[in-house]
Amino acid sequence: MTCIALVAGEASGDLLGASLIQSLKSRYPDAEFIGIAGPEMIKAGCESLYPMESLSVMGLTEVVRHLPELLKIRRNLLQKLLKIKPDVFIGIDAPDFNLKLEKKLKHKGIKTVHYVSPSVWAWRQWRVKKIASSIDLMLTLFPFEVPFYEKNNVHARFVGHPLADMIPLEPDMMSARKSLAIDQDKKVLAILPGSRMPELERLSNVFIGTATLCHQQNPALEFIVPFANQKTMDYFQGELDESEQKLPITLVLGNSRQVMQASDAVLLASGTAALEALLLKKPMVVAYRLSPITYWLLKTFGLLKVSNYSLPNLLAGKQIVEEYIQHAAMAGNLSTAIMQLITMHEGTSELMAIYHTIHKSIKKDASQEATKAIAELIG
């Protein structure tokens, strides 16, 4: 029986893992899947030895705070996997947790795959040496990542992005509005302040302030804010109540893709949501705030190696969407950029053409491509 070990650290990795498990089952119908999984991977048939939420920490300072628990989980998981001796270990994203685990497993003769490249080409580039000694294969979601790895003697395969497979090239905005009971003639701004608490804590007030300024300029504009879970939704509602702003704003649990699809424009925290907005062909403004210490470290030691940080701009190789980081992510800047998008007519067709080109370039049936690469590795 084939044994495949997987570790995912957050919701996006859980979705990738679930799709990959389904594809691997078609190649290895008797396979056993074990590791650290979220609800989607568990539903697909993976036995989870620890709760995935234990790994869902972000930023340098946040990881330090949770370090003892993370080290204990990794140590215990390593011992269990060395006893099981899986045919292959697949670390899905979560590089700070997975890479050290992969290195120890590889040195014990277990094949190791890392699915979703860390942004090593953008910052902390010295990590590529650690990656080279830790994995047998890197599966990348974006084409520009492979040349970087090849230059550094890391075996890498571009498999495409699963979201590009799932989202049609021509999304249906009208049907999304109908399912959400939104008037077809309304102007709607989707707001996505992030899926994790640290993101919400840094961006909620900024995004509420942005919505307030936009509403002052266009009282007919409506706002919809989707949330990954009840905890983040309750937090945002609390911040909204404290602001005492009377806004035409609707909070929604889940359905973030449908909300974006129904909108005229999107204001969001940088991350996978920006790629999703691109695939849904939505004009967007991207904002992000790191913890002050993390940002200071990046700036002081020159750790950031790219001029643009949002995925649409990285994939285009130039700035096609407005992005604001740290102190520039202020309500005044964001509202000005949003109102330009809401009223924009010229340039829209050019932006949509770029979006379509990018969508086609990363639409590769990612799970099948990943399965082929993994099968070649383990034989």
Residues in the chain: 379
Question: Which pLDDT band holds residue 60 (cuts at 50, 70, 90)?
Answer: very low
Looking at the structure, do residues 253 and 300 belong to the same domain, yes or no?
yes
Whether the per-residue pLDDT at 83 is higher than 70: the answer is yes
Whether the per-residue pLDDT at 306 is higher than 90: the answer is no
Contact 8, 41 (CB under 8 A): yes
H helices of 45-142, in order, are 60-65, 67-84, 95-107, 127-134
Whether the per-residue pLDDT at 234 is higher than 80: the answer is yes
Q: In whole angstroms, what separates CA 295 from the centre of its chain?
A: 19
Residue 129, sorted as left (phi over 0), alpha (psi -120 to 50) or beta, turns out to be alpha
Q: In whole angstroms, what separates CA 164 from the centre of its chain?
A: 13
Looking at the structure, do residues 150 and 209 belong to the same domain, yes or no?
no
Whether the per-residue pLDDT at 315 is higher than 80: the answer is yes
Instruction: Please check whether residue 117 lies inside any domain of the structure.
Output: yes
Contact 37, 91 (CB under 8 A): no
Instruction: Please check whether residue 165 lies inside any domain of the structure.
Output: no
- Smallest Cα–Cα separation from 139: which of 278, 24, 276, 277? 24
Whether the per-residue pLDDT at 331 is higher than 80: the answer is yes
Domains in the chain, number: 2
| Structure confidence at residue 298 (pLDDT) | 60
Whether the per-residue pLDDT at 302 is higher than 90: the answer is no
Its domain, for residue 77, covers 3-160+364-378
Instruction: Please check whether residue 140 lies inside any domain of the structure.
Output: yes
Looking at the structure, do residues 122 and 200 belong to the same domain, yes or no?
no
| Structure confidence at residue 122 (pLDDT) | 58
| Structure confidence at residue 344 (pLDDT) | 75
Looking at the structure, do residues 38 and 177 belong to the same domain, yes or no?
no
- Smallest Cα–Cα separation from 104: which of 5, 193, 1, 198? 5
Looking at the structure, do residues 335 and 304 belong to the same domain, yes or no?
yes
Whether the per-residue pLDDT at 58 is higher than 60: the answer is no
Least confident of 33-42, 67-76, 251-260: 67-76
Looking at the structure, do residues 86 and 181 belong to the same domain, yes or no?
no
Looking at the structure, do residues 71 and 188 belong to the same domain, yes or no?
no
Q: At what angle do helices 127-134 and 95-107 cross, to 10 degrees?
A: 40
Contact 160, 366 (CB under 8 A): yes
Of the segments 121-125, 200-204, 306-310, which one has the largest average pLDDT value? 200-204
Whether the per-residue pLDDT at 294 is higher than 80: the answer is no
Burial class (CB in 10 A: 0-12, 13-18, 19+), 198: middle
Looking at the structure, do residues 303 and 354 belong to the same domain, yes or no?
yes
Looking at the structure, do residues 142 and 182 belong to the same domain, yes or no?
no
Instruction: Please check whether residue 167 lies inside any domain of the structure.
Output: no
Which helix (DSSP H) or strand (DSSP E) does residue 367 occupy?
Answer: helix 366-378
Whether the per-residue pLDDT at 301 is higher than 60: the answer is no
Least confident of 24-28, 41-45, 197-201: 197-201
Neighbours of 186 (CB within 10 A): 14
Question: Which pLDDT band holds residue 300 (cuts at 50, 70, 90)?
Answer: low
Neighbours of 194 (CB within 10 A): 26
Whether the per-residue pLDDT at 106 is higher than 80: the answer is yes
Give me the mean pLDDT over the 298-318 stretch. 74
Whether the per-residue pLDDT at 369 is higher than 90: the answer is yes
Looking at the structure, do residues 22 and 87 belong to the same domain, yes or no?
yes
Residue 137, sorted as left (phi over 0), alpha (psi -120 to 50) or beta, turns out to be beta
3-class state of residue 301 by DSSP = coil
Looking at the structure, do residues 15 and 146 belong to the same domain, yes or no?
yes
**Tens of pLDDT along 235-291?**
999 999 999 989 999 999 989 999 999 999 999 998 889 999 999 999 999 998 877
Q: How far is CA 272 from CA 12, 76, 136, 141, 233, in A?
A: 8, 30, 26, 11, 19
Instruction: Please check whether residue 168 lies inside any domain of the structure.
Output: no
- Beta-carbon contacts of 342 under 8 Å, excluding residues fewer than 6 positions away, are 187, 189, 214, 218, 221, 264, 265
- How far the first Cα of the chain sits from its last, in Å, is 14
Q: Mean pLDDT score of the chain, rounded to an integer?
A: 91
Instruction: Taking the CA atoms of 354, 360, 361 and 363 in sequence, report the sign of the dihedral they define.
Output: positive
| Structure confidence at residue 59 (pLDDT) | 45
Give me the mean pLDDT over the 55-61 stretch. 56
| Structure confidence at residue 61 (pLDDT) | 47
Q: How far is CA 58 from CA 90, 95, 185, 284, in A?
A: 20, 11, 39, 24
Instruction: Please check whether residue 156 lies inside any domain of the structure.
Output: yes
Instruction: Please check whether residue 107 lies inside any domain of the structure.
Output: yes
Question: Which pLDDT band holds residue 172 (cuts at 50, 70, 90)?
Answer: very high
| Structure confidence at residue 271 (pLDDT) | 84
Contact 354, 316 (CB under 8 A): yes
- Tell me the β-bridge partners of 224: 190, 250
- C-alpha angle 55-34-89 in degrees, rounded to nearest 5: 80
| Structure confidence at residue 65 (pLDDT) | 66
CATH number at residue 119: 3.40.50.2000
Instruction: Please check whether residue 357 lies inside any domain of the structure.
Output: yes
| Structure confidence at residue 126 (pLDDT) | 74
| Structure confidence at residue 121 (pLDDT) | 64
Question: Which pLDDT band holds residue 345 (cuts at 50, 70, 90)?
Answer: low
Looking at the structure, do residues 348 and 369 belong to the same domain, yes or no?
no
